[in-house]
Amino acid sequence: MESRIAPSQRKTPKAGVDYPRNYAEFMAWFSDDAACLDYLDWIRWKDGFECPSCHGSKGWRMKNSKWWCDACRNRISPTAGTIFHHARTPLTVWFAAAWHMTSAKNGVSAKTLHRILGFGSYPTAWAMLHRFRCAISNAGHDMLSGHVEVDETVFGGVRHGKRGRGAEGKVLVAVAVELLSPKGFGRCRLQIIPNAETETLKVFIQTHIKAGSCIHTDGLTSYPSATKDEYIHHGTSISGSGKDANEVLPGVHRVAALVKRWLMGTHQGSFEEGHLQAYLDEFAFRFNRRKSTHRGMLFFRLIEQCVAMHPIRFHELVANPKPKNEKQEFAVPSNLRNKAPPSLDISVPTHPWRSALP
């Protein structure tokens, strides 16, 4: 048994110390499952051990990496009660998936992950990415502030019906984007909304934007009442301004275009409607950290959020239990069904290409 090391004094995570700066460091740090488990332990109990059962703070770390709680005498794994709880997928694979999801500019699709990490099945890769998205969605956020554009946009394939607000069978999404001076955009928030009525938009604005901020919108009649009292409101009627919508509200149009392009590109437009919010949250997670010097910072934040997230069962992830394209998307060879991928921690001879027999 070993006693706890001193709590971390660092408030801002440091590149090369708290998270890997690049792929080389990532590979060197997390070459085996034990190293990954130790990292989870460190992230979870950075400020000292806290027993998830009794909240006791006195414990010892045992040789098998579990903690022994002095108060309730339970043995606790660093993964207990987190998204990694009882996962059959080895931690090296979770970590590699998290690295790919956060280091690639556009993230990664389940199909690509399935292919590159040797997952036994497509659903395993799909479920892992969705577990990551749940952790991202679950995290608390700082509110947007300053000058913020707010608008709504419509998602969904080509369907018949009314266009724009109130279109049937399509998903309406509220978008908020910070405007930075002298130019450029700050952070964004995207949320599915049932309609563009005053009460709905008021809740969206109050949830995501600090009171006292200056809100820029188009001329929709819901906005003046949705923002009164707590915000300064600048409404510009698109038709009356003689400008295009993307000139009046450049931030929200830019973000909406980027999200749609991302869904069409990385995910080939094949997202399930019930999971759209999770994709929107993943987009915002990446967009809001696009100016980070090191991509490893996103990896660090994702792992942090996974440790703070409770376990999620597969059936909880499936928004629509019987999707239309179930057969096509979930067809898995029977010999690979339910098979956990092997650990990436494999022992290989040095220079196998030299020792191979002809």
If one asks whether residue 27 binds Zn ion (CB under 5 A), the answer comes out as no
Please say which residue, 53 or 207, places its beta carbon nearer to Zn ion: 53
CA–CA distance, 120 with 337 (Å, rounded to integer)? 7
As to burial, measured by CB atoms within 10 angstroms (0-12 exposed, 13-18 middle, 19+ buried), residue 132 is buried
> Does position 54 bind Zn ion by CB under 5 A?
yes
Q: How far is the CB of 60 from Zn ion (least distance, A)?
A: 12
- The distance of closest approach from Cβ of residue 81 to Zn ion in the complex, given in angstroms and rounded to an integer, is 12
**Binding of Zn ion by 51 (CB under 5 A):** yes
CB of 45 to Zn ion, least distance (A): 13
Tokens of 138: 């679950």
Within 10 A of 18 (CB to CB), how many other CB atoms are there? 18
- Interface residue with Zn ion, options 36, 40, 43, 69 (CB under 5 A): 69
Q: Does 80 bind Zn ion (CB under 5 A)?
A: no
Minimum CB distance to Zn ion smaller for 57 or for 137: 57
User: 17 or 62, CB closer to Zn ion?
Assistant: 62
Binds Zn ion by CB under 5 A, chosen from 31, 53, 106, 270: 53
Q: At closest approach, how far in Å is the CB of 58 from Zn ion?
A: 9
* Rg of the chain over all Cα atoms, to the nearest angstrom: 23
Q: With respect to Zn ion, which residue has the nearer C-beta, 56 or 81?
A: 56
283-to-20, 213, 307, 342 alpha-carbon distances in Å: 22, 24, 20, 29
Residue 84 CB, shortest distance to Zn ion, in Å, is: 20
Question: Of the ranges 68-76, 138-146, 184-192, 318-326, which one interacts with Zn ion (CB under 5 A)?
Answer: 68-76
Whether residue 147 contacts residue 214, with contact meaning beta carbons closer than 8 Å, is answered with yes
C-beta of residue 161 within 8 angstroms of C-beta of residue 170: yes
Residue closer to Zn ion, measured from CB, 22 or 53: 53
At 144, list the tokens: 């947007």
235 binds Zn ion (CB under 5 A): no
Interaction between residue 320 and Zn ion (CB under 5 A): no
* 232-236 and 214-218 strand pairing: parallel
Q: Kind of pairing, strands 147-155 and 214-218? A: parallel
Number of residues that bind Zn ion (CB under 5 A): 7
Shortest distance in whole angstroms from residue 83 CB to Zn ion: 21
In this chain, which stretch among 5-13, 64-72, 167-175, 338-346 interacts with Zn ion, using CB under 5 A?
64-72
Whole-number minimum distance, CB 79 to Zn ion, in Å?
16
Asked if 72 is part of the footprint of Zn ion (rule: CB under 5 A), the reply reads yes
Locus of tokens 């090391």? 5
The answer to whether residue 186 forms part of the interface with Zn ion (CB under 5 A) is: no
Any contact of residue 52 with Zn ion (CB under 5 A)?
Answer: no
- CB closer to Zn ion, 72 vs 139: 72
**Min dist. Cβ of residue 146 to Zn ion (A):** 44
Tell me which stretch binds Zn ion (CB under 5 A): 50-58, 127-135, 168-176, 276-284. 50-58
Tell me the closest approach of the beta carbon of residue 175 to Zn ion, in angstroms.
44
Chain positions contacting Zn ion, by CB under 5 A = 51, 53-54, 56, 69, 71-72
